[in-house]
């Protein structure tokens, strides 16, 4: 929420960033060179300077407890902030979801039916000042999450999962490391225990995939160097690189961290000597620089996505074949229907049926933009995805991509009630304006009255989460935190989940979600998510419109050791670059 920086004019990126917010994934990366690539034609080489071009003004957060943008987490994890476990670096989508050890010696040991999780730390890990990385550093890092008024905006799984009692107002009795007033530090010390090199987390309930959770917001922080609020701008590295210079809005320079040793890290090959991030560039300029691929830009790559306007240039020309990448982004784009404002099922279905999804996709770049969506679980969540059948009969009929206004009229008539005026709220940018115009005209074709309510990007989520200002129809987007629909279905369709924009609160559904969450058989759990996805679509709580694609372009000398023939790719649940093993070809 509010984590995405909003550029004024880079509409394509805004649509993604503003809509999607914090999707999280762990670090991409991993695996030493060539392991997963069959024929590593380009042998990875050490040295050189890798440059990343970004339209953002700065990293929103460097703080391991606060970073909550998938791409940033991947970058930071690959270079500076290690986590207990990490995601395997591989171009194979199935392998991208598997865990490998990072700071820990293995991927964690559950006990007590999944209520206790322990990790043993590796030897020889050091901070950039030469002091050792200890179990206490991890414990201290995790404790910072509890200081909710200081460490803002980050993942809060630690608060949700750890076995620490709640105070009367629902907040945890532990308030983080910065305050002593009315703070139950003992409760935390009981929940997170260090014994030598072994850290144990005691959870309130069994969590089958807690070793995935530790990839998110649970990095170590040395207590002596913690500057609380300000730590997020100047962190201490325990990875292979450290910050040499950082001017917000301009650039960040990372150089080798001499205190990091390969022996203490089997996850990071650390090829380049230097990594430079250039901030605050215009996306159209970034696109042009990458397209041109001249001089130093050959060793550069873009952080965000190509503008939709440049896709035709890049993807219709074989010259770019070895430098361009395309893949699903983590995000599903959908429109939320407020169930309190449109309580009637038939009327909600009418909205879904009337919408011209083809046109909405056309506005974002046609076939490049992505695939027409049929649910909130995306095919790149491989295990949990199954076609929901939303457009092929679930709503009573096959609905063409361009919508079916006649059938929508029929549904409204069948509802037997007058259709409310639909006010469509969206975060404003040029593409979203066009989309809004399209929604207005397609719903009007089905006889509905439509008002448009554009909202300034920064105020968007504040507005739609305010019940008094929420409207009938609202734009939204979501991506999973890690490869499990447990980070999709519960947040979107249960009030407790935190992202239930449409105010769905269905008792039977809540119970099914709870059952799926505590299911430990992953295959069984996947089927449950598939059914819940289908049910949500049948209920028309949301109208999914696009399984969004992400297209990027890199300089000709930027390669990835795990890519096919060294070619770059994007992947993982955050759809990020394989920062970990990217290198500069000589």
Partner 1 sequence: MGAYIIRRLIAMAGMLVTLSVIVFLLFSVLPADPARLVCGKSCTPSIIKAINHKFGYDQPLAVQYKEFVQGIFVGRTYGEGKAAFDCHVPCLGYSFLRNEDVTTLIKDTLPITAQLALGGFVLWILVGVSIGIVAALKRGKWQDRTIMGAALVGYSFPSFFIALLLIFFVQIKFAVLGFHSYTSFFDSPAEWFKALVLPWIAVAMLYAAFYSRLTRNQMLETLGEDYIRTARAKGLRERTVIGKHGLRAGLTPIVTAAGLDLAGLLGGALIIEQVFALPGLGRLSVDSVTTSDLPVITGTVMVAAFFIILANLVVDLLYAVIDPRVRLA
Partner 2 sequence: MSLASDHAVEATSTSAESAEIAGRSLTQIAWRRLRRDKVAMTSLLVVLVIVSIAALAPVITRLVGVDPSSFNDKAVSDAGGLPLGRLGGVSLAHPLGVEPGTGRDLFARLLYGSRISLLIALSATLITVTLGVSVGIVAGYSRGWLDSALGRLMDVILAFPLILILLALSNVLTQRLETTFHLGELVARVLYLILVLSLFGWPYLARIVRGQVLSLREREFVESAVSMGAGTPRILFREILPNLWAPILVYATLLLPTYIAAEAALSYLGVGLVPPTPSWGAMLADSVRYFAVDPAFLFIPGTYLFVVVLAFNLLGDAVRDALDPRAGRA
Determine the Cα–Cα distance for residues 4 and 363; give it in Å rounded to an integer: 22
Q: DSSP for 218-259? A: -----GGG--GGGGGGSPPP-SSEEEEEEETTTEEEEEE-TT
Q: DSSP for 345-365? A: HHHHHHHHHH--HHHHHHHTT
- State in angstroms the smallest separation of the CB of 350 from partner 1: 31
Determine the Cα–Cα distance for residues 542 and 336; give it in Å rounded to an integer: 4
**Residue 54 engages partner 1 in binding (rule: CB under 8 A):** no
Angle between the N-to-C axes of helices 430-445 and 11-20, in degrees from 0 to 180, rounded to the nearest 10: 70
- State in angstroms the smallest separation of the CB of 149 from partner 1: 4
Nearer to partner 2, 434 or 512 (CB): 434
Quick check: 492 and 529 in contact, CB under 8 A? Answer: no
Q: Which helix H or strand E contains 161, and what residues bound it?
A: helix 157-161
Residue in 98, 250, 309, 322 binding partner 1, rule: CB under 8 A? 250
Nearer to partner 1, 145 or 530 (CB): 145
> Which of partner 2, partner 1, none does residue 233 bind to, with CB < 5 to 8 Å depending on kind?
partner 1
Determine the Cα–Cα distance for residues 293 and 492; give it in Å rounded to an integer: 41
Q: Which helix H or strand E contains 51, and what residues bound it?
A: strand 49-53
Q: Which residues within the stretch 466-525 sit at the binding site for partner 1 (CB under 8 A)? A: 498-499
Nearer to partner 1, 408 or 513 (CB): 513
> Which of partner 2, partner 1, none does residue 449 bind to, with CB < 5 to 8 Å depending on kind?
none
The candidate with the shortest Cα–Cα distance to 190, out of 179, 206, 174, is 174
- State in angstroms the smallest separation of the CB of 212 from partner 2: 37
Residue in 8, 437, 495, 515 binding partner 1, rule: CB under 8 A? 8
Nearer to partner 2, 169 or 466 (CB): 466
Nearer to partner 2, 410 or 453 (CB): 453
Strand 241-247's sheet: what is its strand order? Answer: 241-247, 251-256, 274-278, 49-53, 300-302
> Which of partner 1, partner 2, none does residue 261 bind to, with CB < 5 to 8 Å depending on kind?
none
- Report DSSP state, residue 132: B
Instruction: Report the DSSP pairing between strands 274-278 and 49-53.
Output: parallel
Give the burial string for 319-330 (b: 16+ CB within 10 Å, else e): ebeebbbbbbbb
Give the burial string for 209-243 (b: 16+ CB within 10 Å, else e): bbbbbbbbbbbbbbeeebeeeebbeebbbbbbbbb
> Which of partner 2, partner 1, none does residue 436 bind to, with CB < 5 to 8 Å depending on kind?
partner 2
- State in angstroms the smallest separation of the CB of 403 from partner 2: 12
| Region of 31-39, 263-271, 441-449, 451-459 interacting with partner 1 (CB under 8 A) | 451-459
- State in angstroms the smallest separation of the CB of 373 from partner 2: 18
> Which of partner 2, partner 1, none does residue 364 bind to, with CB < 5 to 8 Å depending on kind?
partner 2
Residue in 32, 152, 327, 410 binding partner 1, rule: CB under 8 A? 152
Instruction: Report the DSSP pairing between strands 542-553 and 582-584.
Output: unpaired
The candidate with the shortest Cα–Cα distance to 166, out of 204, 118, 212, is 204
Contacts of residue 511, defined as CB under 8 A and 6 or more positions apart, other chains included, come to none
Tell me the sheet residues that pair with 543: 335
- State in angstroms the smallest separation of the CB of 4 from partner 2: 16
Positive or negative CA dihedral for 66, 70, 75, 79?
positive
- State in angstroms the smallest separation of the CB of 306 from partner 1: 16
Structure tokens at 161: 């999962």
Nearer to partner 1, 5 or 323 (CB): 5
Nearer to partner 1, 204 or 228 (CB): 228
The candidate with the shortest Cα–Cα distance to 259, out of 243, 240, 277, is 240
Positive or negative CA dihedral for 39, 41, 44, 45?
positive
Binding residues for partner 2, rule: CB under 8 A, are 8-12, 282-284, 287-288, 307-313, 315-316, 358-359, 362-368, 428, 430-431, 433-434, 436-438, 440-441, 451-456, 459
Residue in 116, 163, 184, 229 binding partner 1, rule: CB under 8 A? 229
The candidate with the shortest Cα–Cα distance to 226, out of 214, 235, 217, 218, is 235
Determine the Cα–Cα distance for residues 284 and 281; give it in Å rounded to an integer: 9
> Which of partner 2, partner 1, none does residue 153 bind to, with CB < 5 to 8 Å depending on kind?
partner 1
**Residue 458 engages partner 1 in binding (rule: CB under 8 A):** yes
> Which of partner 2, partner 1, none does residue 441 bind to, with CB < 5 to 8 Å depending on kind?
partner 2
Q: Which residues within the stretch 164-183 sit at the binding site for partner 1 (CB under 8 A)? A: 169-171, 177-181
- State in angstroms the smallest separation of the CB of 62 from partner 1: 10
Nearer to partner 1, 16 or 408 (CB): 16
Contacts of residue 471, defined as CB under 8 A and 6 or more positions apart, other chains included, come to 338, 341, 423, 424, 425, 453, 464
Nearer to partner 2, 55 or 537 (CB): 55
Nearer to partner 2, 287 or 384 (CB): 287
Q: DSSP for 491-551? A: HHHSGGGS--TT----HHHHHHHHHHHH---HHHHHHHHHHHHHHHHHTTSEEEEEEEEEE
| Region of 288-296, 313-321, 325-333, 355-363 interacting with partner 1 (CB under 8 A) | 288-296
Quick check: 310 and 50 in contact, CB under 8 A? Answer: no
- State in angstroms the smallest separation of the CB of 150 from partner 1: 5
Residue in 107, 118, 148, 410 binding partner 1, rule: CB under 8 A? 148
Nearer to partner 1, 61 or 209 (CB): 61
Binding mask 14-53 vs partner 1 (x if CB under 8 A, - otherwise)? -------xx-------------------------------
Residue in 92, 106, 184, 282 binding partner 1, rule: CB under 8 A? 282
**Residue 281 engages partner 1 in binding (rule: CB under 8 A):** yes
**Residue 214 engages partner 1 in binding (rule: CB under 8 A):** no
Which residues contact partner 1 (rule: CB under 8 A)? 1-3, 5-6, 8-9, 21-22, 57-58, 68, 147-150, 152-156, 159-160, 169-171, 177-181, 227-230, 232-233, 247-251, 278-282, 285, 288-289, 292, 294-295, 456-459, 461-462, 465, 498-499
């Amino acid at each position: 929420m509010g984590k995405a920086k909003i550029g004024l004019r880079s509409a394509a990126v805004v649509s993604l960033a503003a809509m999607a917010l914090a999707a999280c994934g762990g670090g991409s990366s991993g695996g030493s060179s060539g392991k997963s690539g069959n024929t590593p034609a380009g042998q990875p080489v050490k040295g050189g300077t890798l440059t990343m071009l970004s339209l953002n003004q700065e990293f929103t957060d460097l703080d391991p407890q606060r970073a909550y943008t998938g791409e940033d987490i991947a970058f930071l994890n690959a270079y500076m902030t290690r986590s207990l476990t990490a995601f395997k670096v591989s171009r194979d989508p199935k392998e991208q979801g598997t865990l490998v050890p990072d700071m820990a010696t293995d991927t964690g040991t559950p006990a007590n039916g999944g209520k206790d999780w322990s990790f043993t730390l590796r030897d020889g890990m050091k901070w950039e000042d030469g002091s050792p990385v200890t179990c206490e550093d991890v414990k201290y890092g995790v404790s910072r999450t509890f200081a909710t008024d200081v460490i803002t905006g980050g993942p809060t799984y630690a608060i949700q999962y750890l076995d620490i009692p709640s105070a009367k107002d629902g907040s945890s009795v532990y308030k983080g490391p910065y305050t002593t007033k009315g703070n139950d530090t003992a409760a935390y010390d009981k929940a997170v225990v260090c014994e030598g090199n072994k850290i144990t987390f005691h959870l309130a309930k069994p969590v089958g995939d807690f070793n995935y959770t530790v990839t998110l917001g649970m990095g170590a922080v040395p207590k002596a160097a913690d500057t609380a609020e300000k730590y997020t701008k100047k962190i201490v590295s325990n990875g292979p690189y450290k910050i040499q210079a950082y001017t917000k809005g301009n650039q960040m320079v990372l150089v080798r961290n001499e205190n990091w040793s390969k022996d203490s890290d089997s996850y990071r090959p650390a090829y380049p000597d230097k990594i430079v991030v250039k901030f605050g560039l215009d996306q159209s300029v970034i696109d042009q620089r990458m397209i041109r691929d001249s001089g130093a830009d050959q060793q550069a790559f873009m952080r965000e996505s190509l503008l939709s306007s440049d896709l035709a240039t890049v993807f219709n020309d074989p010259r770019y074949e070895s430098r361009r990448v395309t893949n699903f982004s983590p995000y599903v784009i959908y429109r939320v229907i407020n169930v309190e404002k449109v309580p009637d099922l038939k009327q909600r279905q009418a909205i879904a049926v009337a919408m011209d999804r083809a046109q909405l996709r056309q506005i974002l770049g046609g076939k490049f933009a992505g695939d027409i969506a049929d649910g909130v679980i995306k095919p790149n969540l491989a295990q949990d995805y199954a076609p929901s059948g939303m457009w092929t009969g679930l709503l009573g009929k096959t609905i063409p991509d361009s919508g079916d206004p006649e059938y929508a009229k029929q549904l409204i008539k069948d509802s037997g009630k007058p259709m409310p005026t639909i006010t469509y709220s969206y975060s404003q940018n040029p593409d979203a304006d066009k989309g809004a115009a399209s929604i207005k005209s397609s719903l009007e074709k089905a006889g509905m009255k439509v008002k448009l309510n554009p909202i300034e990007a920064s105020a968007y989520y504040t507005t739609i989460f305010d019940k008094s200002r929420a409207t009938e129809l609202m734009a939204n987007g979501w991506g999973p935190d890690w490869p499990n629909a447990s980070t999709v279905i519960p947040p979107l369709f249960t009030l407790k989940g935190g992202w239930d924009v449409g105010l769905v609160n269905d008792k039977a559904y809540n119970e099914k979600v709870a059952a799926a969450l505590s299911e430990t058989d992953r295959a069984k759990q996947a089927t449950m998510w598939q059914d819940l996805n289908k049910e949500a679509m049948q209920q028309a709580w949301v109208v999914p419109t696009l399984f969004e694609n992400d297209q990027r372009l890199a300089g000709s000398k930027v390669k990835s050791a795990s890519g096919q023939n060294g070619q770059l790719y994007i992947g993982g649940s955050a759809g990020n670059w394989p920062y970990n093993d990217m290198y500069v070809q000589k």
